[in-house]
Amino acid sequence: MIEIDCFTVGAFQVNTYLVKDVATGACAIIDTGETDELVKRLQALQPAPDVQMILLTHAHLDHAGALVSLQQAFDVPTYLPRLEIPLFETLPKQGTWFGAPQMNRPCGRIDHLVDDGDIIQLGETKLHFISTPGHTPGQGCYYDQEHIFVGDTIFAGSVGRTDLPMSDPDLAQKSLMKLMGLSSKLRVYSGHGPVTTLAEERTNNPFLRFLRQ
């Protein structure tokens, strides 16, 4: 069983998550924001969370830009989808892509690369990794039996953009089909916007009409 705290941070209003294994207290941070706002908010928590790992869904600036700040505050291993390496290496110039070179960020340290089907142990909780590329070359999702953290793969009523550098709309469509093969009961925690479920999105998301034809 896990507990989830959501912190919406930064100029992009990205949802970052503190995931706690209830049995042991072990915590994972999922995504980082692009400033040190998340660090400040986590350090203000009482009692202090037992952070044991940082999990990145993908390597866009708003999801990985504050990695260095987090690693300085919490000296714990960082996990990145293996196929995200080329995008991760562009962090020092991604701000320029959006006309904001002041937002360029250093890359930080990656300790573990994850592949489709890998399992990450957080206390007594098993977090499964499913690769869902398209929005980025190697974006992926982490899930247990009840929850899934999807980055920008899918949102409540929408999906991740595929008009950005290194995006691939064909891959994104295949990834959405793959994602919808998981349990419809999963609660979806996206990189932006409110919580939803796979069942809700399968039924009502206008970008998934191709699955209902």
pTM, whole model, 2 decimals?
Answer: 0.96
CB 184 within 8 A of CB 199: yes
Structure tokens at 205: 């998301």
Where does the pLDDT of residue 112 fall: very low under 50, low under 70, confident under 90, or very high at 90 and above?
very high
Contacts of 61 (CB under 8 A, 6+ apart): 12, 34, 91, 94, 95, 98, 103, 105
CB 125 within 8 A of CB 95: no
pLDDT at 213: 57
The pLDDT tens digits of the residues spanning 165-177 come to 999 999 999 999 9
Residue 154's CB: how many other CB atoms inside 10 A? Answer: 28
Contacts of 69 (CB under 8 A, 6+ apart): 32, 35, 36, 38, 39
Distance separating alpha carbons of residues 157 and 55, to the nearest angstrom:
25
Where does the pLDDT of residue 123 fall: very low under 50, low under 70, confident under 90, or very high at 90 and above?
very high
**pLDDT above 90 coverage of the chain, percent:** 95
Closest CA to 71 of 32, 25, 21: 32
The pLDDT tens digits of the residues spanning 129-171 come to 999 999 999 999 999 999 999 999 999 999 999 999 999 999 9
Distance of alpha carbon 55 from the chain centroid: 7
Domains with residue ranges and CATH for the chain: 2-211 (3.60.15.10)
Cis peptide before 165 (omega within 30 of 0): no
The pLDDT tens digits of the residues spanning 11-53 come to 999 999 999 999 999 999 999 999 999 999 999 999 999 999 9
Give me the residues paired with residue 29 across strands.
Answer: 18, 54
**Residue 146 φ/ψ, nearest 5 degrees:** -125, -20
The pLDDT tens digits of the residues spanning 45-79 come to 999 999 999 999 999 999 999 999 999 999 999 99
Total length of the chain: 213
Where does the pLDDT of residue 210 fall: very low under 50, low under 70, confident under 90, or very high at 90 and above?
confident
pLDDT at 211: 77
Mean pLDDT of all residues in the chain? Answer: 96
pLDDT at 212: 65
